[in-house]
């Protein structure tokens, strides 16, 4: 589903199911060993902790009345030792739990990132990038507490509850039954909160996502914002999105915070009840020591129950985020290798479009029954009006989108039958949006051929005339550039991505507006190098500056969803059709200038 703007809430594409917890358990499973070790220390500490109230009972009921100082001191010594043991176990537990939790989060983060790398262009076309980003970073981080402390504490707390119950039953069965009297109230509270809290946190996650998307969009577009002096409008929008986030947060925590005080109140009421029943001896007959020990166990019982309540709270909260994480992981890459896909053999460079129809959205064909055949080694120029579908043609060639009808073939192999890796690795693509990654110039050119030597990188840069400007940079090829290449000029960025496309030594070269930002003098020099390079390679060149494509083997004029005219520059000029008109108007414009 399209989520086109920051102010549109994402709707859930799949309802919550228990399977999410099973999948989460799948991430925990590889850490069985360290978790078992942690559990062993917890059990040890719990057993040591359990002995406390029992020692109190023995001291009050037996040793103090009997004045047995020696045994009393011995008991005190054991008690101190048990405290030291508990302290040591706690210290180990905190470190080990955090480590396991972070390892699990790292695995999840890796999976979601790896999956995103495989998703097709169409997925990213439909989503603000801030909404994708928040899933990899923030949503996964929200699970941190649940996975580190929450999970292990849960097991430890459950264990505590069972052991404490055992001790309580051992002391007095009736008092134990009284202690459970208010449990139904607790269940009622859980049921009351469950659905309300999940919905509240789903809304909150939407608002968080919107806020993130708006911040991301605003930072990406900061230069335009400042050039149009639109800051005040942006502050207002930000305030509005931020206010929605704040309100939804307050609503969510209002429900979330019902749980903890609720359980606490029930536990206090239970303690009062036991005091009342014990002191008044209603249906029970207990000594003072037994009553005090029992109250100790009631605390031991309710403390873990309060923790379990908190865990339940975190689980419900995390569920809203888990749904989003698994939704992303379940996004089926619409473009992927067919089960019987084979490696595309080394490409010669013949390209065929056979009755190709393509649309981005239902009901609006961008290309309609397009047919052409290209011999290996030909250079094809795509020209035509803005939005006619030139970039779309080359996107289909690399199978960035799948066509709706017909077939796209390379050397007779349908691009859908071969593996994406073998197809794309034989193509050098320079898209309209030149992207420079943070790192050195060298790393940027080497992006598509990691094993290229420095000499090969320099050779490619020389061909595209990038070498001259690179040499003059502070550290030459080792100069560090920022993400998007903001410290480079638009033309320099284009030359770099040109070199990147060439270095891979592709059999099919695709250049989309590759020279639009390059000055005419550099472009002339570039053309010389390119002519040599394009020899024996099939190439597709999209250019609005027609002077650059005059020498192409064939020129396709794309218009009306098809190839309206095709031929050499001379042939098309002689036809005096659409291409002639376009060329003439550019020529006239240049003359006028």
Q: Report residue 462: phi and psi, to 5°.
A: -65, -40
As a whole number of angstroms, the distance between CA 379 and CA 243 comes to 55
387 binds ligand ATP (CB under 6 A): yes
Are 254 and 197 in contact by the 8 Å Cβ rule? The answer is: no
Distances (CA, A) of 192 to 195, 198, 400: 7, 11, 48
The SS3 call for residue 365 is strand
390 binds ligand ATP (CB under 6 A): yes
Query: What would you report as the CA-atom Rg of the chain, rounded to the nearest whole angstrom?
Result: 35
Q: Report residue 302: phi and psi, to 5°.
A: -80, -30
Task: Tell the smallest beta-carbon distance from residue 541 to ligand ATP (Å).
Answer: 12
263 binds ligand ATP (CB under 6 A): no
1 binds ligand ATP (CB under 6 A): no
591 binds ligand ATP (CB under 6 A): no
Tokens at 329, concatenated: 């992981």
Tokens at 313, concatenated: 């709270």
As a whole number of angstroms, the distance between CA 388 and CA 88 comes to 71
Candidates 493, 503, 428, 514; CA nearest to 459 is: 503
As a whole number of angstroms, the distance between CA 536 and CA 504 comes to 15
Task: Tell the smallest beta-carbon distance from residue 213 to ligand ATP (Å).
Answer: 18
Residue 392 vs 492, nearer CB to ligand ATP: 392
514 binds ligand ATP (CB under 6 A): no
Q: Give the largest CA-CA distance in the chain.
A: 122
86-105 CB burial, b ≥16 within 10 A, e <16: beebeeebeebbeebbebbb
Half-sphere exposure of 248 (CA within 13 A, CB side): 21
392 binds ligand ATP (CB under 6 A): yes
Residue 15 vs 361, nearer CB to ligand ATP: 361
Residue 44 vs 122, nearer CB to ligand ATP: 122
Q: Which residues 200-219 are close enough to bind ligand ATP by CB under 6 A? A: none
Q: Out of 304, 389, 448, 506, which residue is the one contacting ligand ATP (CB under 6 A)? A: 389
Task: Tell the smallest beta-carbon distance from residue 362 to ligand ATP (Å).
Answer: 11
As a whole number of angstroms, the distance between CA 401 and CA 408 comes to 11
As a whole number of angstroms, the distance between CA 186 and CA 309 comes to 9
As a whole number of angstroms, the distance between CA 473 and CA 487 comes to 11
Residue 210 vs 391, nearer CB to ligand ATP: 391
128 binds ligand ATP (CB under 6 A): no
As a whole number of angstroms, the distance between CA 118 and CA 421 comes to 11
240 binds ligand ATP (CB under 6 A): no
Query: 349: left (phi > 0), else alpha (psi -120 to 50), else beta?
Result: left
Half-sphere exposure of 454 (CA within 13 A, CB side): 5
Q: Out of 41, 46, 391, 494, which residue is the one contacting ligand ATP (CB under 6 A)? A: 391
Q: Which residues 526-545 are close enough to bind ligand ATP by CB under 6 A? A: none
Task: Tell the smallest beta-carbon distance from residue 568 to ligand ATP (Å).
Answer: 21
Task: Tell the smallest beta-carbon distance from residue 397 to ligand ATP (Å).
Answer: 12
Q: Which residues 360-379 are close enough to bind ligand ATP by CB under 6 A? A: 360-361, 366
552 binds ligand ATP (CB under 6 A): no
Residue 389 vs 428, nearer CB to ligand ATP: 389
Question: Binding pattern to ligand ATP, positions 59-88, x when CB under 6 A?
Answer: ------------------------------
Question: Binding pattern to ligand ATP, positions 333-362, x when CB under 6 A?
Answer: ---------------------------xx-
Number of residues that bind ligand ATP (CB under 6 A): 11
Task: Tell the smallest beta-carbon distance from residue 389 to ligand ATP (Å).
Answer: 4
Which positions touch ligand ATP (CB under 6 A)? 125, 360-361, 366, 386-392
């Amino acid at each position: 589903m399209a989520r086109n703007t920051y102010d549109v809430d994402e709707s859930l594409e799949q309802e919550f199911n228990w399977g999410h917890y099973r999948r989460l358990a799948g991430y925990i499973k590889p850490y069985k060993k360290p978790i078992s070790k942690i559990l062993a220390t917890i059990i040890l500490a719990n057993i040591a902790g359990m002995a406390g109230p029992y020692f109190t009972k023995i001291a009050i009921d037996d040793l103090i009345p009997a004045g047995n100082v020696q045994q009393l001191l011995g008991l005190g010594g054991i008690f101190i030792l048990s405290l030291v043991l508990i302290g040591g176990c706690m210290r180990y537990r905190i470190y080990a739990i955090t480590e396991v939790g972070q390892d699990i989060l790292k695995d999840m983060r890796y999976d979601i990132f790896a999956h995103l790398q495989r998703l097709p262009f169409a997925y990213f076309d439909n989503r603000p990038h801030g909404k994708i980003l928040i899933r990899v970073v923030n949503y996964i981080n929200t699970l941190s507490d649940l996975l580190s402390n929450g999970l292990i504490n849960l097991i430890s707390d459950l264990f505590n509850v069972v052991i404490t119950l055992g001790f309580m039953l051992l002391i007095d069965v009736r008092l134990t039954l009284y202690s459970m009297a208010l449990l139904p109230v607790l269940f009622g509270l859980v049921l009351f909160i469950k659905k309300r809290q999940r919905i509240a946190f789903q809304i909150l996650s939407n608002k968080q996502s919107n806020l993130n998307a708006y911040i991301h969009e605003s930072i990406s577009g900061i230069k335009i914002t400042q050039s149009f002096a639109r800051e005040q409008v942006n502050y207002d929008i930000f305030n509005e999105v931020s206010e929605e986030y704040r309100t939804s947060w307050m609503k969510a925590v209002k429900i979330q915070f019902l749980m903890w005080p609720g359980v606490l109140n029930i536990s206090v009421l239970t303690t009062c009840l036991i005091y009342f029943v014990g002191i008044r001896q209603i249906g029970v007959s207990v000594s003072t020591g037994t009553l005090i020990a029992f109250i100790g166990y009631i605390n031991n019982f309710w403390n873990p129950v309060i923790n379990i309540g908190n865990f339940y709270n975190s689980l419900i909260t995390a569920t809203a985020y888990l749904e989003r994480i698994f939704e992303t992981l379940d996004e089926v890459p619409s473009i992927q290798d067919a089960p019987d896909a084979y490696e595309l053999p080394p490409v010669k460079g013949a390209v065929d479009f056979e009755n190709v129809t393509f649309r981005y959205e239902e009901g609006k064909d961008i290309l309609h029954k397009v047919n052409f055949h290209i011999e290996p080694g030909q250079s094809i120029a795509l020209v035509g009006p803005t939005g006619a579908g030139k970039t779309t043609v080359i996107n289909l060639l690399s199978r960035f989108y799948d066509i709706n009808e017909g077939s796209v073939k390379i050397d007779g192999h349908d691009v859908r039958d071969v593996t994406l890796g073998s197809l794309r690795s034989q193509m050098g693509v320079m898209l309209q949006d030149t992207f420079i990654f943070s790192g050195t110039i060298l790393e940027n050119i080497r992006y598509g051929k990691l094993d290229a030597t420095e000499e090969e990188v320099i050779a490619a840069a020389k061909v595209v005339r990038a070498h001259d400007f690179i040499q003059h940079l502070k550290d030459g090829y080792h100069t560090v550039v920022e993400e998007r290449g903001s410290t480079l000029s638009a033309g320099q960025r284009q030359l770099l991505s040109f070199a990147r496309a060439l270095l891979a030594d592709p059999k099919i070269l695709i250049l989309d507006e590759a020279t639009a930002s390059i000055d005419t003098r550099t472009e002339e020099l570039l053309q010389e190098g390119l002519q040599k390079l394009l020899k024996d390679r099939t190439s597709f060149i999209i250019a609005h500056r027609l002077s650059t494509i005059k020498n192409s083997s064939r020129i396709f004029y794309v218009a009306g969803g098809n190839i309206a005219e095709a031929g050499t520059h001379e042939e098309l000029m002689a036809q005096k059709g659409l291409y002639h008109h376009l060329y003439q108007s550019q020529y006239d414009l240049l003359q006028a200038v």
